[in-house]
Amino acid sequence: MHGNPGRINNRKAFRTAILALCALAVLGAAGFGWLVSTVAYWEQREQSMGQRDNSDTIIVLGAQVKAWGEPSEALLRRMTLALSHYRAYPRMIVCCGGQGADEPMAEGDFMRDWMIEQGVPPESVISENTSRNTRENIAGAKKIMDEYGLSRALVVTSDYHLPRALAVCRSQGVDAIGDGSPSRPDLWWKNHLRESVSWIKFWLGL
């Protein structure tokens, strides 16, 4: 006796579909792995370029302010690095970042207050306190630079975020170099996976 041809064909179609889905999953994982490794390479490349710092502005990109009013580790590292650049060569500091739903104040305002507490003159630090993402950070900073007649920026952010921040600068016509504060090694995968997704959004113009 022969089996039901329709049932046999359905089983074959089902196996083919499963194999196709598995192949797509493998290709997707490989592609995303390539993207993560590429982001890590860009990070190392930007950090090792060693461009001469002749900027007239320091742009500090925000990170989370804890609900109890203290900086997250990422934010503290960014501010500390920016302050070291300022002390080596004083110039205007633009602190970028709006207020998240779980933050007690805007990141830009928090950073400005912190810089002043560390001895930076109030007239040398400006808060951009309405932006919600990197694209808006840079747009807001560019507006301030244009108002003050400033022409070249040193962008300070976390190491993994630096390449995309500089790519956003290029896309918005901001002449910039950058320096990235080191991130915790145990958060390497989390940071780079998230940054890879952000790169996809950047390429899509989102």
Q: What is the 3-state secondary structure (H, E, C) of 27-62?
A: HHHHHHHHHHHHHHHHHHHHHHCCCCCCCCEEEEEC
d(CA 159, CA 46): 9
- Res 43: pLDDT: 47
d(CA 83, CA 33): 35
Strand, coil or helix: 96? strand
Tell me if 12 is assigned to some domain. no
d(CA 125, CA 95): 7
Task: List pLDDT tens digits, range 42-90.
Answer: 445 555 445 678 999 999 999 999 999 999 999 999 999 999 999 999 9
* Residue ranges making up the domain that contains 82: 47-182+189-203
Both tokens of 196, joined, read 């890879």
Query: Is 132 within 8 Å of 123 (Cβ atoms)?
Result: no
Beta bridge partners of 154: 58, 177
Residue 31 has pLDDT above 70, yes or no: no
Tell me if 17 is assigned to some domain. no
CATH number of the domain encompassing residue 109:
3.40.50.620
- Res 48: pLDDT: 43
- Res 206: pLDDT: 62
* Prediction pTM value: 0.76
Tell me if 167 is assigned to some domain. yes
User: What are the DSSP E strand ranges found in 52-170?
Assistant: 57-61, 92-96, 125-128, 153-158
Tell me if 103 is assigned to some domain. yes
Tell me if 16 is assigned to some domain. no
Task: List pLDDT tens digits, range 105-149.
Answer: 999 999 999 999 999 999 999 999 999 999 999 999 999 999 999
Tell me if 65 is assigned to some domain. yes
Higher pLDDT, 199 or 101: 101
Nearest by Cα to 73 from 193, 199, 185:
185
- Res 42: pLDDT: 45
**For the stretch 163-172, what's the b/e string if a residue is b when 16 or more beta carbons lie within 10 angstroms of its beta carbon?**
bbbbbbbeee
Tell me if 32 is assigned to some domain. no
Based on the structure, what is the number of domains in the chain?
Answer: 1
Tell me if 8 is assigned to some domain. no
From its phi and psi, is residue 86 left (phi > 0), alpha (psi between -120 and 50) or beta?
alpha
